[in-house]
Homo-oligomer: A and B are copies of this chain.
Amino acid sequence: MRRPASTGVYTMQASLEFFKSALQKESTVNSTAAVHQWIAQRNAEIKVEVTPIPFYKLGQWYINEATGNIHHRSGKFFTIEGVSITADKGDGPKSWSQPIIHQPEIGYLGFLVKKIEGVYHFLVQAKIEPGNVNNVQLSPTIQATRSNYTRVHQGKSPAYLEYFRERRGTVLLDQLQSEQGARFFRKRNRNIIIEVHEDVPLYQDFRWVTLGQLKELLRLDNVVNMDTRTVISGIGYGSYSSEITDLLGVFAPSMMSDFHASLYQSYVNANNALHTMSGQLSWLTELKSAYELMVNLVPMNLVTDWLRDDYRIYHKEGKYFEVIAVDVTIGNREVSSWAQPIVKPCQEGIVAFVAKMINGVLHFLVQAKLEVGNLDIVELAPTVQCITGNYRKGLNEYDVPFLDYVLAAGKDQVMYDVMLSEEGGRFYRNQNRNMVILAGSDFPVQVPENYRWFTLQHLMQFMQYSNYLNIEARSILSVLSF
């Protein structure tokens, strides 16, 4: 039965069902091992050839020599432009400029969810992207640009699009979330989860898995893609109440390891949080108010310190990233090929949350981070975020606060440590090390003014609204499991 969209959001019940699904690390529908094997098999089968080419061979893409910007001849997809920023915190203006991806439209990143054998299962796709280090990764049911879903008569529409366009079922989550502020100009996607109440056809390359299975696969390097991570990071587990414990029945946090029980308590119980929500908001208001900021798109030709040759746009000191052109051929029987610009990082990055028990509740150390592509000045970022590389000052000496602590952490402090990829449609073999470090009593509660301790419940409150948590923070949160 189709339900009207407007009444289709049931938060508390959905939170419980999501939590139940997160606890299910196995499923009789598809075993975790079988899913892993399926991806490995798809990776073995598929041929992906990605070859750097000069810009002038980009075919449908071209450089406008008047501006230096890179466009598609249709005017669609994205452009590579310049952006200039002047930031003044009262100590005088600081300016810089850089290339940036501009794509002023909001795409769908969506999961269909269905209760199978009493547990929410997510419909994942084994999806090939040219930039992926290992070709195939688990993506959401749909990754569709606005062009896909508003002008569907031109070209084949993505599988399951009609479920999202018509919202066939109950909308469980529906958020606008930001992409990388250091790479994209104010880009956001619509992160959506729809529970279907009808039978759904199962197309090739799609499988049903529980949230717990996704979390298990997230312990492996480069299996679950960024789009999946951002959607599932938005899933909350409600507030602690007698209704929840009643409904959960057999479940008790005592069944979990200490750390995972702490995680759960940090999600559902904020009573002993170090700060109130109003306090967190006030801190953010203070930091945002501190800046006088001017951010403008400018022609690439006006970006300083960046150079271009036939094959790449690059920083004069080899820092940050390059924009390159590639020729892509994908397929085994049916072959498709195209050329496109793509962003290639100059080195691997690291993103890490430091977590610590404070007042008996697990807190995460959040950084308010200014990035040029942010819509609203600063976003909540991980404790450490060095995706632009070049943070090394010297042997075991780093410019970035808390990086030393993260890299020197003992094995028993490392709760998560996994290599995860950025989106393979825009980024070429771009992976970051995602970590969660459990700090001991040696780690201070007192932190610099642009850092702040948050419980998971507070982070999930902010998550519901747009442009608060950045994509790097969300990527790490998606990894957390019980």
Question: Which A residues form the contact surface with B (CB < 8 A)?
Answer: 5-11, 90, 104-106, 146, 150-151, 171-176, 190, 192, 275-279, 281-283, 285-286, 288-289, 292-294, 296-297, 375-376, 464-468
Residues of B within 8 A of A171 (CB): 278-279, 282
Compute how far the CA of A29 lies from the CA of B51 in the bound complex, rounded to whole angstroms: 79
Pairwise interchain contact A275-B6, C-beta atoms closer than 8 A: yes
Pairwise interchain contact B466-A289, C-beta atoms closer than 8 A: no
| A175 and B281 contact, Cβ closer than 8 Å, known pairs A6-B275, A190-B289, A276-B10 | yes
Instruction: Name the distance in Å between A134's Cβ and chain B's nearest Cβ.
Output: 31
| A8 and B174 contact, Cβ closer than 8 Å, known pairs A104-B293, A146-B292 | no
Q: Of B105, B174, B375, B464, which one neighbours A376 at CB under 8 angstroms? A: B375
| A292 and B11 contact, Cβ closer than 8 Å, known pairs A286-B174, A464-B281 | no
**Most chain-B Cβ atoms within 10 A of its Cβ — which of A6, A104, A278?**
A278
Compute how far the CA of A152 lies from the CA of B404 in the bound complex, rounded to whole angstroms: 39
Compute how far the CA of A407 lies from the CA of B204 in the bound complex, rounded to whole angstroms: 58
The interface residues of chain A, by DSSP majority, are classed as mixed
Pairwise interchain contact A9-B375, C-beta atoms closer than 8 A: no
Residues of B within 8 A of A105 (CB): 292
Pairwise interchain contact A7-B288, C-beta atoms closer than 8 A: no
Contacts beyond the supplied A175-B285, A176-B289, A296-B297: 11 A-B pairs with Cβ under 8 Å: A6-B275, A7-B279, A9-B278, A10-B276, A11-B276, A11-B277, A104-B293, A104-B294, A146-B289, A190-B285, A375-B375
Pairwise interchain contact B283-A6, C-beta atoms closer than 8 A: yes
Compute how far the CA of A174 lies from the CA of B285 in the bound complex, rounded to whole angstroms: 7
Pairwise interchain contact B376-A173, C-beta atoms closer than 8 A: no
Residues of B within 8 A of A466 (CB): 288, 376
Pairwise interchain contact B6-A289, C-beta atoms closer than 8 A: no
Residues of B within 8 A of A376 (CB): 375, 466-467
Pairwise interchain contact A289-B375, C-beta atoms closer than 8 A: no
| A278 and B11 contact, Cβ closer than 8 Å, known pairs A150-B90, A286-B174, A288-B176 | yes
Residues of B within 8 A of A175 (CB): 281, 285
Pairwise interchain contact B150-A6, C-beta atoms closer than 8 A: no
Pairwise interchain contact B9-A289, C-beta atoms closer than 8 A: no
Q: Of B7, B173, B296, B297, which one neighbours A275 at CB under 8 angstroms? A: B7
| A281 and B174 contact, Cβ closer than 8 Å, known pairs A146-B292, A150-B90 | yes
- Can you name the residue of chain B whose Cβ is closest to the Cβ of A106? B289
| A9 and B276 contact, Cβ closer than 8 Å, known pairs A285-B190, A464-B281, A466-B376 | yes
Residues of B within 8 A of A173 (CB): 278
- Can you name the residue of chain B whose Cβ is closest to the Cβ of A150? B90
Instruction: Name the distance in Å between A300's Cβ and chain B's nearest Cβ.
Output: 17
Compute how far the CA of A90 lies from the CA of B149 in the bound complex, rounded to whole angstroms: 10
Compute how far the CA of A343 lies from the CA of B292 in the bound complex, rounded to whole angstroms: 24
